[in-house]
Amino acid sequence: MSITINAAGTRFKLDTRHTSYAFGVGPSGYLNHYYYGAKLPDVPETFDALDRDFLGLSFSPYRQLKHIEDSRNIALQECATHAAGDYRISSVIVCDSLGCNSTDPQFVSAKVFPGRPAIEGLPHARVNDDPTVETLEVTLRDPATGVEYLLDYTVFPEQDCIVRSMLIRNASAGRVVIERAMSFCLDLNNMDYDLVQVHGSYGRERFGFSRTPLHTGLQTIFSSRNSSGHDHNPAFALMEKGATEDHGGVLGGMLVYSANFSIEIEGDPFFRTRIVGGIGNDFSWTLESGETFRTPEAILTWSSDGLGGMSRNFHDMLRDHLIRPRWAHQERPILVNNWEGTYMNFNREKLLAIADSAAECGVEMFVLDDGWFGHRDDDHSSLGDWFVYEKKVGSLKTLAEEINRKGLVFGLWFEPEMISEDSELYKAHPDWVFTAPGRERTYGRHQLVLNMGIPAVVDYLFDTISAVLRSAPIAYMKWDFNRQPAEISNPLLPPERQKEAAHRFMLGTYELHRRLLEEFPDLLIEGCSGGGGRFDAGILFYTPQIWTSDNTDAIDRLFIQSCTSLFYPCSAQGAHVSVCPNHGTARTTPLETRGLVALAGTFGYELDMTKMTAEEKETVRQQCAMYHQYHHLVLNGDQYRLADPWDGRCCQWEFAAKDGSEAIVIDVLFRQIIHPGTRFVRLRGLNPDAMYREIGTGRVFSGAFLMNAGITLKPDGRDYIAQLLHFKAV
Ligand code: DGJ
């Protein structure tokens, strides 16, 4: 049992393997938060000891004279509104039929059930027949309106994660308008944390992270790009002061959502912390009597093993309970993608020649990227026209079959949400474009965005894309999304409901994913967004892998892949070997190094393989063999970031089997210094008492030795060199 309720039904405790979360009903009927952190054995009532004293002269309002200490502005809460004088940020605001937004949800009841509530239309954590997963559903009701608020806490004990979301049910007779509906609200009783957030831009998505002490006032991580975006990511960590990669308490959170989001962290005047996160601002949603609205989910975790522990919790959670089970623990085919090899300048012969060279080297899938449809030879035309450009590639069916005969499966690029002005689709449906009526439109990469909030658009895309997928043996789809919408409206909605348009756009995209996967359950989809501009748990629900960045430079990738791994597993990060000098950075790195960096992701090549020398092809053959030898550790193991590239010299990633029987370390030295001293690698996650053989040298060490003394790395005078170390229990 991971959920415990006291006999009175008013105190709740959620336990995972290593964490506890406790809250209860306060004297005025509100939900007060008590604790989230390392696991405690105590019963739920014990947490009453953490009830706050009245914090003094703040003139904070209170509801009942007899419960002065239950002032909303003082209490730590699970669902925060400003109704009764809580002047901090709110997690929910619902305007009643009189236009009053004094939302005031109070406790009604709670129940526990196995599994989790059904979620329709939104990506969500999956139970996957795990009998340990349980949900606590707490019902609150606003006595003035009758509107109900169901707070769901689904506990995933093995992964140390709690998934939260809220369902709002309009049980009143009139219409209400949701002005804010955050996925979670979490109040902590102190402010002694550093906020960690990842940041970047196109070509350097999640290139770095900041760690800044919390302060009083508001700090926000957000996107208003109608996509989670290249710049920020819907995820955060709060690290206890002094916590490191390996030690100390870290609270992590991420949203299972891919559009506008806001994660707001407020330090209050009493030096406590409130965190709310969910759909971004500039949102509202009308609920007629009887209707419901479900927020996206948020996944929360706590680890006492530093930032690395938090990452591993998220990796396990996403692999075991979010990514499609068909692919989550399944090795993906090694691919060659023609994009950096040819861009849109290709013909059938060229594609087949690349496939020939790829087949020679052990590559298993050929992906035809942008430029195969409509009359597309450059980025000015044809988006939306999902029919084959036969003059350029001939029959898609026979092309795919010919590639199959070479021993490769076939994959194809699409950009479903986009439309070019120069397209048949635009001629037929200019009204399907996202616009701000009466205003000049914007372009991005010469293209416009389809309004996915219009059901007919989703129908059209499903019909045309599924027709292509049916027409040829297509095992993989790359789903690109190159520009972010700027004009947001929905012609099907009245003026007062226009703030639903952005969320409806996202729901339309999710619906298209759902319908395509319903028809093609084995299809492997790779998410992509002008590189890695939509890398989030919402998209990962549908696409088991996401292209991490258009920047394929092996050295920049150390930063991008390390930082992405703070929240997302390497087995979901698209990583390819490309040509040198690199098209983005002009840097030249050894093919071996490029291979080892890509081996820490979903492995593949993105270059014109016909131009490779015999020696290079031999290296590719070896790399493909290495992928099959080691990838199970990336796919199912624990990742340890042993050395951070931000320290300026090298990067080391370890992937260890969960039972400690085997581990690899990928070490990349990217900056030599003169008289450098000794470089070590010290492993983690091994069994201290087991003995391990180093594959290659045959040396034998105890796990304790490898984790404490470590081993010395051979000096090498060159920049950008990489090595892979492999240890197996004997
Ligand atoms: C952006 C992607 O990130 C690239 O990999 C490639 O697919 C291009 N779009 C194609 O237009």
Give the Å distance between the CA of 331 and the centre of ligand 1. Answer: 23
**Least confident stretch, 81-90, 376-385, 580-589:** 81-90
pLDDT (average), residues 651-656: 98
Residue pointed to by tokens 């710049």? 231
For the chain, give the mean pLDDT.
Answer: 96
pLDDT (average), residues 375-400: 98
- DSSP, collapsed to helix, strand or coil, labels residue 134 as strand
Q: Report pLDDT digits (tens) over 110-136.
A: 999 999 988 999 999 999 999 999 999
pLDDT for the residue 528: 98
Atom of ligand 1 nearest to the CA of 528: 3
Distance CA(70)–CA(53), nearest Å, equals 9
High-pLDDT (> 70) share of the chain, %:
98
DSSP calls for 30-55? PEEEEEEEE-----GGGGGGGPPPP-
Closest residue by CA, ligand 1 atom 9: 530
Q: Are 31 and 77 in contact (CB under 8 A)?
A: yes
Size of the chain, expressed as the number of residues it contains: 730
Annotated active-site residue 480? The verdict is yes
Please determine, for residue 189, whether its predicted confidence score (pLDDT) is greater than 70: yes
195 band by pLDDT with thresholds 50, 70 and 90: very high
pLDDT for the residue 346: 98
Q: Are 183 and 278 in contact (CB under 8 A)?
A: yes
Please determine, for residue 211, whether its predicted confidence score (pLDDT) is greater than 70: yes
pLDDT for the residue 57: 52
Residue pointed to by tokens 């290296």? 619
Please determine, for residue 56, whether its predicted confidence score (pLDDT) is greater than 70: no
Element at 7 (helix H, strand E): none
- 8 Cβ contact list (under 8 Å, min separation 6): none
Phi, psi dihedrals of residue 308, rounded to the nearest 5°: -60, -40
pLDDT for the residue 717: 76
Out of 550, 553, 556, 608, the active site residue is: 550
Please name the amino acid found at residue 591.
L
pLDDT for the residue 51: 72
Give the Å distance between the CA of 393 and the centre of ligand 1. Answer: 19
pLDDT for the residue 1: 78
pLDDT (average), residues 406-429: 98
pLDDT (average), residues 488-493: 96
pLDDT for the residue 61: 81
High-pLDDT (> 90) share of the chain, %:
91
Ligand 1 and 432: CB distance under 6 A: no
50 band by pLDDT with thresholds 50, 70 and 90: confident
Taking each helix axis as running N to C, give the angle between helix 455-471 and helix 501-519, from 0 to 180 degrees, rounded to the nearest 10.
30
Single pTM value for the model: 0.98
Q: Report pLDDT digits (tens) over 591-604.
A: 999 999 999 999 99
pLDDT for the residue 702: 98
pLDDT for the residue 673: 85
Closest residue by CA, ligand 1 atom 1: 530
Q: Report pLDDT digits (tens) over 248-265.
A: 999 999 999 999 999 999
Closest CA to 622 of 367, 363, 284: 363
Ligand 1 and 370: CB distance under 6 A: yes
pLDDT (average), residues 504-516: 98
Please determine, for residue 54, whether its predicted confidence score (pLDDT) is greater than 70: no
Q: Count the Cβ atoms, other than its own, within 10 Å of residue 690.
A: 18
519 band by pLDDT with thresholds 50, 70 and 90: very high
- 185 Cβ contact list (under 8 Å, min separation 6): 77, 78, 79, 80, 91, 274, 275, 276
Distance CA(568)–CA(339), nearest Å, equals 25
Please determine, for residue 364, whether its predicted confidence score (pLDDT) is greater than 80: yes
pLDDT for the residue 28: 84
Please determine, for residue 228, whether its predicted confidence score (pLDDT) is greater than 90: yes
524 band by pLDDT with thresholds 50, 70 and 90: very high
- 635 Cβ contact list (under 8 Å, min separation 6): 319, 329, 330, 331, 571
Ligand 1 and 528: CB distance under 6 A: yes
Ligand 1 and 547: CB distance under 6 A: yes
Give the Å distance between the CA of 234 and the centre of ligand 1. Answer: 22
**Least confident stretch, 83-87, 157-161, 499-503:** 83-87
Please determine, for residue 69, whether its predicted confidence score (pLDDT) is greater than 80: no
Neighbouring-strand partners of residue 411:
367, 476
Q: Hey, which of 528, 529, 534, 539 would you mutate to test ligand 1's pocket, going by the most ligand atoms within 8 Å of its Cβ?
A: 528
* For residue 213, cis peptide bond before it (omega within 30 degrees of 0): no
**Least confident stretch, 39-53, 209-223, 681-695:** 39-53
Residue pointed to by tokens 């920020």? 232
